[in-house]
């Protein structure tokens, strides 16, 4: 687990860091805009990644005037772009691997012909 995804903050601290109220974070969770981890005692725990995600949501809403429906669409689109980037990276690695195999086969064929 990377250090930014480690659950660190209880809801009151997370709300204070974000300059909002705890009920807002609970509402965002209800809408599944954020899914904090839970302790064994069922206490919400927020990671730095969660805080960064919530800051982005807050920026969309407060600074850019996007409503919650728009936030959901934006987050969905961002996730889709990230998924497509990962697929593209995987395909590029596959192509590089196949090109390496093809180059090795050409070298092998040239060596056999000599």
Say yes or no: 59 and 94 in one domain. no
User: Among 65, 11, 19, 61, which Cα is nearest to 41's?
Assistant: 11
Quote the tokens at residue 48: 């730095």
d(CA 47, CA 14): 9
Mean pLDDT of 58-79: 95
Say yes or no: 31 and 71 in one domain. no
End-to-end CA distance of the chain: 53
Query: CATH number of the domain that 39 lies in?
Result: 1.10.1660.10
Say yes or no: 47 and 91 in one domain. no
Say yes or no: 54 and 79 in one domain. no
Percent of the chain with pLDDT over 90: 75
Residues 74-83 pLDDT 10s? 999 999 999 9
Residues 6+ positions from 90 with CB-CB distance below 8 Å: none
Say yes or no: 85 and 109 in one domain. yes
Q: Provide the domain limits for residue 81.
A: 67-114
Say yes or no: 55 and 84 in one domain. no
Instruction: Tell me which DSSP letter residue 31 carries.
Output: T
Confidence grade of residue 114 (pLDDT, cut at 50, 70, 90) = low
Total count of domains within the chain: 2
Residues 6+ positions from 18 with CB-CB distance below 8 Å: 25, 51, 54, 55, 58
Say yes or no: 47 and 10 in one domain. yes
In the block, which residue shows the tokens 């981890």? 37
pTM surpassing 0.85? no
């Amino acid at each position: 687990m990377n250090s930014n995804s480690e659950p660190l903050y209880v809801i009151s601290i997370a709300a204070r860091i974000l300059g909002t109220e705890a009920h807002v974070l609970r509402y965002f969770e209800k809408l599944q805009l954020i899914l904090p981890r839970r302790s064994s005692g069922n206490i919400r725990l927020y990671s730095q990644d969660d805080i960064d995600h919530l800051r982005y949501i807050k920026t969309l809403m407060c600074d850019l005037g996007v409503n919650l429906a728009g936030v959901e669409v934006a987050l969905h689109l961002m996730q889709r772009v990230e998924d497509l980037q990962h697929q593209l990276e995987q395909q590029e690695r596959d192509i590089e691997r196949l090109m390496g195999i093809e180059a090795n086969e050409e070298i092998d064929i040239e060596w056999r012909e000599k």
